Amino acid sequence: MTAERPVVFVVDDDASVRRALDRLLRAEGFQVETFASGSEFLSAADRRCGCVILDVRMPGLSGFEVLESLSSRRRSLPVILISGHSDVPMATRAMNAGCASFLSKPFENEALLTAIRDALRACSAWDSVPTGEGTPAVGPES
Amino acid sequence: MSPRAVLRLSGLGITIALAYYAGAAVGFALKLPEATPSVMWPPNAILTSALLLTPTRLWPFALLAALPAHVALESGAGFPISLVLALFATNCTEALLAAGGLRFFSDDATRFDSFRRVGLFIAIAVLAAPFLSSFLDAMAVSLLRGEQYWQVWTARLFSNMLTALTVVPAVVTVVTSGWQWLRAAPRTRHGEAALLTMAMLVAAVFVLRRPASDAMTAELAEHAALAWMLPGLLWAAIRFGPGGSSLTLLVSSLVLTSAAVHSHGPFEGLSPSDTTLALQIFLTVVSVPLMVVAALIEERRLAQQDISKRLAVEALLARLSGAFVQLPSNRMHEVFDKSTREIGESLALESVMLFEYADTSEQLRRLAAWSARGDLEPGDPPIPDRFVESVAARLDRKPLAFHLPLTTARSEDAPGGSTLNSVLIPLIAENKIRGMLACTFDASLAQRGSAVLEELELVARVLANALSRRSAEDALRASEATKSAILSSLTYGVVVIDRRGDILNVNTRWHQMIGENAPAAATQVGANYLRFLADAARSGAIRAAKAAEGVAAVLDGTLDDFRQEYLVPHRDGERTMAMRAVPLDHPEGGAVVTYVDLTQQRRAELEAERARAELAHVSRVATLGALTASIAHQLNQPLTGILTNAQAARRFLAGSAPDLEEARLTLDDIMQDDRRASEVIVRMREFLRKDTGPIQNVDLHAVVREVARLVSSAAIIRNTELILNLDEAPAIVHGDRVQLQQVVLNLIVNALEAFGESRPSDRRIVVGSCCSRGDVVEIEVTDNGEGFKGLEESAFEAFYTTKPGGMGLGLSIARSIVEAHAGLIRAANKPDGGATVSFRVPLAPESAG
């Protein structure tokens, strides 16, 4: 078991959405880092294991562009795309672009949490993925 | 020479010869025994008469015609041929002297109806010619027959004087006017002449009868012989003029001479030659004053006749003028027929025709025609219309008198030959030929020549003036008719007033507009319009007082143009009326007031406004439809926050130790997101509102910011950067907030759509503001897209679009809104690509700097 807990990166231009996700995911026991734009995220991203919740429509780099940028850097970070304005072509495009999940805003918590857990399964070192059973997650350091 | 002329000439010769022969026979019969000369010797007088009655060129013929008669007679009397010829020569000399002198000195040698003419006749034919010719006569007789020269001269002189005095006027008058007198004189004159003849006959019987046995009575009767004749002579002189007088003188002379020849009468007892001389002197002395008296009386009668004729002409002129003056031009034709008849009858013409030049052509049109011989056939006038027309074309404003040989059936029936005298008189008024007066008259009238022409010229002047006035009035009436037709065709009411406000003209439309309630007398021509307005104001008519003030101001020159709009109740609802008063373009002043019913126009304007608002609304709905994704995005953001927060909060509250603080923060966030969402909805609802909002002061910069928020998601979705570059200070304009939002929205959406697929990145829209002038604010939307593909000015036309699926309404509606806000909108492509659409509207007065 590694000391490193997986990180859920949240990239959304909408502060309210960012704060809500941060609050929820932390309550679910995840380590959360939020970014207001794609470029901010890309410049701060490191090689830690985790997944990214990425808004599709953002000023500056869109979610798809960030996704492309990640793949071009050979950064195998699972990506969950969320969009306030989604349609079938966008979902298809998202899947083709290699994202792990695609969710339409607003979404049910369970759908998001399931998507996150699925994404984090790739983190082999991570053995205590929060189950989301209503109890605060217990991190390795706690 | 034509056979007819030969016949006429022969007739003339035979007549002269017969008359000469008869005259000589009478002369011989009136010879006293033992006395060579006759008391009267008519052949000379007959020759003189013949010469007076024939043209000069025929004189040799006339004299030659008498020669055979002379020779036959004188030779019969046993005279040698030399004496016969010498006597003929002296006879001819006397006749030539008398006729030639009279022809030379008298204005009309065949008339004896004035003092001058009779005086000349006595001086030339009675005194001079016998006086001179008697010298030759006496010489011939004394040489060839050995008679005493002066005795012959005296006898011849007095014989010839008496004969000339009595025979020439009688013969000439009978030949020239005897027939006409018989034909034309009234029956009473014929009766009087018969009475006179009877009286003369009775007198002659008394003179010529044998003396009575009673010596005393016989002597009385013989000495009173002349007295028997005198009443008849005076009667004739006074009542029958020189003609009658000379006839009675002739008869008296013959009777008295005859009495003397038969040794009766007053000169009984004298020697034959003394008797002859006494008779001659006596008769001559009696004849001369009688002739003069007759001439004077005739001259006075003619002068009176002339005056009464002139008076008749003047009365005719007065009647004609009066008839034309009193009639309006459109009824003048009624009196033209009557006038031609009156002219014809008053001036004793044969026919009268009146022609008029039609204004539009050179053609003469016959207005009226009259003929003394009954109704004229239209196609058979005395002078054919076409003849008048062709002559008139050549007339140079002067009358033309002419002989026109007429070939119509009627003219052939005319007594006295087939030729009538005619005259054409141009009718000239105001220096323009208005028409023609054509007249024909018979020969007797033709003798009066220039007098008739003068009378006709006076008549022509009256007719010309009548025609001129008629054409002027017709022109005026036509122009009045045109003006009134124009006035009544106008779709607006017109009242023309003079400077006092009296109505000069109105049209029926105005009467229809003011309705049946207005009293007719107060709104007719002549009524006072200002009083009408004042009365209307008193009875509560809307805005009448203000109208009266305005019109009065225009009348006194203090206002150039007065207008007002007002509503009047009407059975179909209210009507919008507009009245306007402007000065009348007339030296006397005045005003023209027009009334226009704007109800239809206003209704149409309202309808158009409603349609525009409807379209604007549809367009807003369509625009928002296009922004669905953006709106969904805007709503989904707060909704995502709400849902996520709510689920997080439930977590915080679950379990044994709920984290209340975290839950409270979460709920705060939820409330904030909720507000955000509702703001989006409110904005949308406001934007989609159908009716327009109130006109109020609006900060145009705030409007731009609101719209920018509405489309921010759309910009994001389209990967476009929306940059606001607005002044910090508010730009307050007076207008409808939603409509102004729509303008900004349409401009930004239009810019968003301008990129198409051509520029995947670096899409930019800048919305800037600038106050180019102190009193307007200008908003500029600039993109770096593809620019307008067509003409920039077409961009604002409705349904003009270059985008697939676009309706082409956005910019058109933006323009109509901007213009409704008294603004201006324009579009231009930028040189470096992209386009700028800008609009400017006036700042609200209180905020304009």
Per-residue pLDDT band for B839 (boundaries 50, 70, 90) equals very high
| pLDDT greater than 90 at residue A35 | yes
pLDDT of residue B35: 53
pLDDT higher than threshold 90 for residue B486? no
- Partner A contacted by B642 (CB < 8 A): yes
Q: What is the model's pLDDT at position A142?
A: 34
pLDDT of B786 above 60 = yes
Residues A20, B721: C-beta atoms closer than 8 Å:
no
Summarize the confidence of residues B199-209 as an average pLDDT: 81
Burial of B567 (0-12, 13-18, 19+ CB in 10 A): middle
Is B647 in the A-facing interface, judged by CB distances under 8 Å? yes
**Residue-level pLDDT at B98:** 92
Which range (B4-8, B343-347, B691-695, B700-704) has the least confidence? B691-695
Q: What is the pLDDT of residue A139?
A: 38
Torsion sign (Cα): B620, B623, B628, B629: negative
Which of A20, A27, A135 lies closest to B669 in CB terms? A20
Q: Is the pLDDT of residue B415 over 70?
A: no
pLDDT score of B545 more than 80: yes
DSSP state of B329: G
Give B171's contacts (C-beta < 8 A, 6+ positions apart): B19, B45, B46, B49
CB contact under 8 A, A28 and B651: yes
Res A1: pLDDT: 44
* Closest residue to B633, CB basis, from A57, A62, A107: A57
A20 vs B640: CB contact, 8 Å cut-off?
Answer: yes
Is the per-residue pLDDT at B572 higher than 80?
no
Average pLDDT over residues B60-88: 84
Q: Show residues of chain B in contact with A17, CB under 8 Å.
A: 637, 640-641, 644
Rounded to an integer, the average pLDDT of B738-766 is: 83
Which long-range contacts link B23-32 to residues 24+ away (Cβ below 8 Å)? B23/B167, B24/B69, B24/B70, B24/B73, B24/B74, B25/B73, B26/B254, B27/B163, B28/B73, B28/B77, B29/B261, B30/B254, B30/B257, B30/B258, B30/B261, B31/B261, B32/B260, B32/B261, B32/B272, B32/B273, B32/B275, B32/B276
Q: Looking at residue B344, what is its pLDDT?
A: 87
| Segment B8-42, tens digit of pLDDT | 888 889 999 999 888 888 887 777 665 556 778 88
Whether B641 sits inside 8 A of A82 (CB atoms) is: no
Ramachandran bin of B429, using left for φ above 0, alpha for ψ from -120 to 50, beta for the remaining angles? beta
Inform me whether the pLDDT recorded for B806 exceeds 90. no
B313 and B455 in contact (C-beta within 8 Å)?
Answer: yes
pLDDT category of residue B249 using cuts at 50, 70 and 90:
confident
Report whether pLDDT(B562) > 90: yes
pLDDT score for A3? 47
**Count of Cβ atoms closer than 10 Å to residue A130 Cβ:** 23
> What's this model's pTM, rounded to 2 decimal places?
0.47
**Cross-chain residue pair B645–A23, CB shorter than 8 Å:** yes
Percentage, residues of chain B above pLDDT 90: 11
Does residue B299 register a pLDDT over 80?
A: yes
Average pLDDT, chain B: 82
Q: How far apart are CA B500 and CA A107, in angstroms?
A: 88
A129/chain B closest Cα distance in angstroms: 18
Residues of A in contact with B672 (CB under 8 A): 16
Residue B379 has pLDDT above 80, yes or no: no
Q: Is the pLDDT of residue B99 over 90?
A: yes
A28 chain-B contacts, CB cut-off 8 A? 651
pLDDT score at A137: 40
pLDDT of A52? 92
Please state the rounded mean pLDDT for residues B525-550.
86
What's the rounded Cα separation, in Å, for the pair B284 and A61? 161
Q: What is the pLDDT of residue B40?
A: 82
- pLDDT tens-place string over residues B308-330: 888 888 888 888 888 887 777 77
Contact criterion met (CB below 8 Å) for B592 and B492: no
Indicate the pLDDT class of residue B804, thresholds 50, 70 and 90: low
Kindly report, residue by residue over A88-136, the tens digit of the pLDDT: 888 888 888 888 888 888 888 888 999 998 888 866 544 555 554 444 4
Q: What's the mean pLDDT in B167-180? A: 87
Select from A21, A58, A135 the Cβ nearest to the Cβ of B716.
A58
- Taking contacts as CB-CB distances below 8 angstroms, the residues of chain A near B651 are 24, 27-28, 134
pLDDT of residue B779: 93
Judging contacts by C-beta atoms under 8 Å, the chain B residues touching residue A107 are: 640, 643
> Between B683 and A37, whose confidence is greater?
A37
A109 near B CB under 8 A: yes
Q: Nearest to residue B273, comparing CAs of B148, B388, B429?
A: B148
What percentage of chain B reaches a pLDDT higher than 70?
A: 87
Q: Chain B contact for A81, CB < 8 A? A: no
State the angle between helix axes of B599-626 and B737-753 in degrees (0 to 180), rounded to the nearest 10.
50
Q: How confident is the model at residue B583 (pLDDT cuts 50, 70, 90)?
A: very high
Determine the distance in angstroms separating the CA of A26 from the nearest CA of chain B, rounded to an integer. Answer: 9
The yes-or-no verdict on residue B125 having pLDDT over 80 is yes
Give me the pLDDT at residue B588, please.
86
Tally C-beta pairs within 8 A across A and B.
91
pLDDT tops 60 at residue B48: yes
How many residues are listed for chain A in this entry? 142
Reported as a single tens digit per residue, the pLDDT across B352-378 is 888 888 766 677 888 888 888 775 665
Note whether B721 contacts A59, CB cutoff 8 Å: yes
Confidence grade of residue B215 (pLDDT, cut at 50, 70, 90)? low
> Pick the residue with more confidence: B363 or B234?
B234
Mean pLDDT along residues B420-438 = 82
- Chain B CA closest to residue A113: B644
Q: Using the beta-carbon criterion (under 8 Å), do B632 and A84 form an inter-chain contact?
A: yes
Structure confidence at residue B408 (pLDDT)? 41
